[in-house]
């Protein structure tokens, strides 16, 4: 009986310790291409991706919306995230200026689209 109790407790610890941790909502990468379409404003961004997890007011007058998604597995210790996505949308005067989308699986892929004004210079 003693060994059975020990085995059950050990199995319970392993079952609780080996779980999936998910933070945020998955970001649809195909929708990020629509961010820079003419007429995309704050309302359209919120409609596409929902309310941001964070909002930051930057010194240059821009507002940065931050969306992220993290998925990791835990096996009695914290392992590094398996799947990560981060989307930053920069707005100025209710108009999208640029965005940055980062997806990290095993090799990071970064897309940073500059505003049209910067590309003309």
In a domain, 14, yes or no: no
Tell me the C-alpha distance between 102 and 98, whole Å: 14
In a domain, 51, yes or no: yes
Residue 27 domain-assigned (yes or no): yes
Q: Which residues contact 73 (CB under 8 A, 6 or more apart)?
A: 18, 19, 20, 21, 79, 82
Mind listing the pLDDT tens digit of every residue in the chain (121 residues)? 777 776 777 666 666 556 677 778 888 888 888 888 888 889 999 999 999 999 999 999 999 999 988 887 666 555 565 678 899 999 998 899 999 998 876 444 445 555 555 544 4
- Tell me the residue range of the domain where 108 lies: 19-120
> Is 91 a member of any domain?
yes
Q: How many domains does the chain have?
A: 1
């Amino acid at each position: 009986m003693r060994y059975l109790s020990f085995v059950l407790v050990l199995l319970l610890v392993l079952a609780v310790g080996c779980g999936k941790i998910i933070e945020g909502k998955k970001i649809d990468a195909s929708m990020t291409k629509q961010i820079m379409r003419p007429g995309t404003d704050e309302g359209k961004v919120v409609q596409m991706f929902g309310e941001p997890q964070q909002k930051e007011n930057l010194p240059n007058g821009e507002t940065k919306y931050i969306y992220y998604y993290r998925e990791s597995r835990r096996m009695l210790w914290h392992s590094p995230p398996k799947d990560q996505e981060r989307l930053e949308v920069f707005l100025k005067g209710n108009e999208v200026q640029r965005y940055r989308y980062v997806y990290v699986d095993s090799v990071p892929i970064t897309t940073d689209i500059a505003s049209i004004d910067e590309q003309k210079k």
